[in-house]
Each structure stands twice: as structure tokens, then as C-alpha cells.
A and B are shown apart, each in its own frame.
Chain A
Amino acid sequence: MQLTVWTYEGPPHVGAMRIATAMRGVHYVLHAPQGDTYADLLFTMIERLPRRPPVTYTTFQARDLGGDTAGLFQRAAREAYERFQPQALLVGASCTAELIQDDPGGLARALELPIPVVPLDLSSYQKKENWGAAETFYRLVRAMASPAAPPRGTPRPARAPGIKARCNVLGPTALGFRHRDDLVAVREILDRLGVEVAVTAPLDASPADLARLGDADFNVVLYPEIARPAADWLGRTFDQPAVVTPPIGLGATREFIAEVARLAGVDPAPALAAASRAAWYSRSVDSNYLTGKRVFVFGDATHAIAAARIAADELGFTVAGLGSYTRELAREVRDAAARHGIEALITDDYLQVEAQIAELQPELVLGTQMERHIAKRLGIPCAVISAPVHVQDYPARYSPQMGFEGANVIFDTWVHPLMMGLEEHLLTMFRDDFEFHDDAPPSHLGPAPAPATASKSTPAPTPAAADAFPWHADAEKELAKIPFFVRGKARRNTERFARERSVPVITVETLYDAKAHFSR
């Protein structure tokens, strides 16, 4: 057992729902108790989809357990087929149904429906959401595309001259972090390169579309967490190479363009020529203050690795911490962390992530919605870079992470919280200013009578907790002048410095001695 307060990923059948809901003409019959129907609201409330996910739950109850839950499943599957008329049926069990071992695959096959039935075996007690999505996509791709597969080892025939190169775009799902917008950005790049898109999947694809995946010259994998197993199989089966660099950030976008151009045999120049504001903004003089800002990065592997690279190479930050909850791609995350000279944190324990952020005291957190809450508690600016998603991650405006526009979006999203930090620092600095203090009437409202006492009471020193180090009131006051987002670190460093030197009470002198010591 594992004690869990919050989780980064849902169970694997939610991953399967993300595939089914992204596609057209697929229905998923899920052997599950009624409580599992909560998953519908992820799609209808968080992503605000205007339709129900194409999922029928058997919603068996305790009284059914002694009876015929297998019959219940078969009735539900047949009814779902008749009502929704899908081109393909996914069948599987949620965690509870897995325990009663009804074999949804076998039961559905016995119905002899006139459509492909794809059984999903998702190991609910071992695996999680992204794995479930990847497995479901792979199973569906395999079931639909296999009939068109050439004999093993057949090399791809060369493209006839004058025919445009065609690729599949694989990975975008329902409930993905900006998947819909990323797809628009990537299609724009492919357009500029003159590369045709054969099939986009799973988003908006039908089972019939999956059947012709083998026609394309190569695959573009946008989210390895979702599409890598399917792309690997397509590679083996149809001799299709794959582009596996997600174009998140300027550098990665350029590499992506170069890779696509190489596989398509086209000139990358027209796509590379697109103007990027982010590149110029990062070089503009006011971005100097971004230099060396310590950032902590956490998310799924794809977004965390990309964010660390952007942070270091495109914004001039220092990557102080890098981690991911994607155990399946832990090796890739560890390699990326090594490039930044740090050790990766691979965990799905939110408390462990919180502890590391508290310890590192970064100046910016780039994480998921959960790190946003951690950062809020610790008073550190934060931007969201990855799922798990929240209703805020579905902005009304076009807001991709991929391509050159994605790089612009990322620049704004990451830098704004820091600007806010700077602004807050200025407000704090001027808190005791004769003109701008809290009691002063707003100057744009014209002259107003001065308050009776202009002097503002000195803030009382923070009451000492039982284990707190004693601070002299003046030193506390001086500490308060330090920007709030580095104040915690300054306090800790000073206390460590004082403890190591057995200084009984921290004075202003101690504060600056410690500052000098740690700046070396």
C-alpha cells in the first residue's frame, strides 16, 4: 500500500478513456461499479467537452456479485453496440472489475459483434493513466492496421518522384495538456515544409483512419508517453521511421523541423524562417534580470525535459531541480538532469516533490497544477507546464506549447509570474516611503488631507516558534527588505551560518556576514 494525498495520474482505464474520447467511431464498454462514472466529469467539466465520453459502464452492485456479472457485462456491451453503432469496440475492466475476473475480452468476443473488438488488459494495481493511454492506443492501432501489414521485413517502397511526403501525427488525446493547440501549431510547420498529414491520431481519428496508418512515409510522435509504443510497432511493421523530438521550445522546434525535412526530403528553410518573438525578448536588455534564476522543473517526462532545456538554453535560468512522475521514461529524465549537473527526482509522491522544492528554495517553479499549489504555499512564483490538468489549462485563446508560437506562449507564461515577483518587491521596498506608504491616499485622486500620524508602526518581529533561531528585531526588519521570493532561503542560510558559528542572536551584521559567505 501507498499513502496518497494527491495523485499525478489517474488509473489506467482513464488513459483508455482519453483515447476513446479523442476518437470518432469508438465506444468503450468498461466493467466497473457506479462510482467509476465520475471519470466523465474530467472530460465534460475540466476540458468542457460538449458531449459525453463514449463510455458505457456496467455499474455492477454488491447484489450482482453473487449472481451473473458476466451476463451484465454482455448485456451492456450488446446494448452499447446497438445504441451507438461504433466502428470498433474497446472492452475492459476498471480496478474493481479486474478483481472479479470476468474476462471482458472473451465475453465480448462471444457476442460475435460484426465489428473489431479490442480487449484491454490494463493492470490497474500496477499501472497508471499515461501507460493506459499508450497501451490502448497501441492495441487499437495494431488491431486496425495489422490487416494492411506487408510481410515482415519488407522495405518501404521509395516514394514516386513528384509525390509529396506524407506523415502521421501521433499522440494528441482528449484531456491532454494543450494537445489540441499543439496539433494546430505542428500542422502549420508541416504545411510550411510542404509535408502532407495522412492521419492524425488518436485525436479526431476513426478506426478506419487507423487502418491506413501504414500508408504514410513516416510518423511524427508528439507525446512519447502516449504514442511511442504504437509508433515503435508501426516502425517495425511498416518500416516507417519516426520523428521523436517534441517541438517544445525554440531549439527543439528547429531540430524537429530539421528531422522532418530530412525524412521528407524537403528544404527546412521556409519553416525555420518563421519569426520568433521569444528569441528576441530573451535577448532584450530587460531580460537580464532572468539570468541565473534558479528554477525547479517537474511534470510528465516530455514537458519536464523540454522545460529544463528551454529554461537553461533559451532563458538563461539555472535548473536547480528536475523531476518527473513518468516512470516509463525515467532514463530520459535522468539523462536530461545529468546535462544540467543535477540528479533527477523520479517519483509520484507529491509530498516528496514538496519536500524537495522546500529544500531547494527555487526562484521559480515550473510544474503541474500540484506544484502550483506547493509554490503558492511556499510563496514562490510558478508556471504550469504539464498535466495533470485543471480547467485553467484549457484557455479560450489559442495557446500551444509547440512550435514557434508555443515558444512565445511559454516565454509569457513563465516570465509573467517573475515580473509579478519583481513588482511585489518594489511594493515592499516602497512600503515605508513617505509618499507611497499604505496610509497615503492615491495621488491620482488629487490632494487629500494628510492622516493625523504619518508614521507607520514598525512591524513587530515575527513571534518565535519553539524551535526558531533567535533574531534581533533590527535583523528581522532587514530581512523583511529582501524580496519575498528569496527571503526563505536567506533566513535559512543565515540561521545555518549562525548555528555553525554558535552565534547566539542573529543581528544585521550576522545577516550580511552570511550573505557574503554564501555568495562566494
Chain B
Amino acid sequence: MAKKTYDLLFKLLLIGDSGVGKTCILFRFSDDAFTSTFISTIGIDFKIKTVELRGKKIKLQIWDTAGQERFHTITTSYYRGAMGIMLVYDITNEKSFENIVKWLRNIDEHANEDVEKMILGNKCDMSDKRVVNKERGEAIAREHGIRFMETSAKSNINIERAFCELAEAILDKTSGRESAENPERVVIDRKNNDKAPGYNKCCA
């Protein structure tokens, strides 16, 4: 009976090194805006955005985490409730890419086992400063069996698509669970890690 304007609520989390653009990605997605001044996130912020996928209104609650190292331990306590996690690195920052492995380990240790993951190589508009080529991003994603996309919050490249794709992957899982309750329907095993990252139709 409570006020409910959506069919499903998905909790998503943005993690990655400080300065890779997590807050900008969120700001672009929620407010369709960009600011180039860097303000370090000291804590956890969230924004909500409702999208429509397959006729369902899905409210995304997106948590933006502090990237600074001193907060790494404390931010891991926020992983637990997340249904989807975006791991963000900066294509102009080698170290942030190398740390993806560290972030993945963090997820393994602290997040729910069935959390949907996606790697984002942000700042892809800055091609002259690029130090991590796209193939390396794809390779690491393939290696871990997760989705990958290069994005630019500044030029609005792939931002909406990334969130919708992650939400859609969660939706697949949720509906998989629903059908599990219905014995007449066959449950598709979604844990197939060999599956190439899907580029499904995105909500627009």
C-alpha cells in the first residue's frame, strides 16, 4: 500500500580509484550534466533514476563511493546490498587500470556472490592522453567474464547504455529467479562466464 512508483528497485554501486570520474558518470546519468571541477567524494552519495526496461519501471538507486585509498576498507561495507557494481578506471591513468584487479578482489570478498559487474574505461574522449588501450580493457573483462564498455561522462558516450545494460543484466537474473518459482518454466543458467558481454538494446 506504500507509495510506489516503480516495479523494481535496483541498487547499483560505483567503485574505482579516486579521480577516475565516478561522480561525473553518475552526474551525467542522473542530471545529464557535466562539470570538470574535481570534488573528491568524502563518503557515499546516491542518486536515483527511473528507467523503463521491457515495460517495467525500474528505479535505480546508484551509490557513488569515495575512491580515496584511506576509505577503501570502510566503503567495502557498502558492497553487500548492491545488485550491480560498476568498476571504473581512467584510460589516461595506468595505475587506475591496474587497480581494477584489486577492486575485483574486493568485490569477491565483500559483495553478494551473484552481483552483476561491469568494467568502465572512462574518459575515452581524451584520446591524446590515453595510456590504456581498449583491447586491454576488453581482455581483463573477458578474463573475468564481465561486461566492459569505454565511456565518457564529458562527451556523454555510453553512459546511459552502460547503466541500462547493467540493469538489464540484473533484470534477467531477477526474472530468472521468478521463473525458478514456476516449475513449468525452464531456468536458464546465467552463470555462464564464457558468454561474451552482451550489447543488448538499450532503453533510450
Q: Do A and B come from one complex?
A: no
Residues in A lying within 8 Å of B, measured CB to CB: none
Residues in B lying within 8 Å of A, measured CB to CB: none
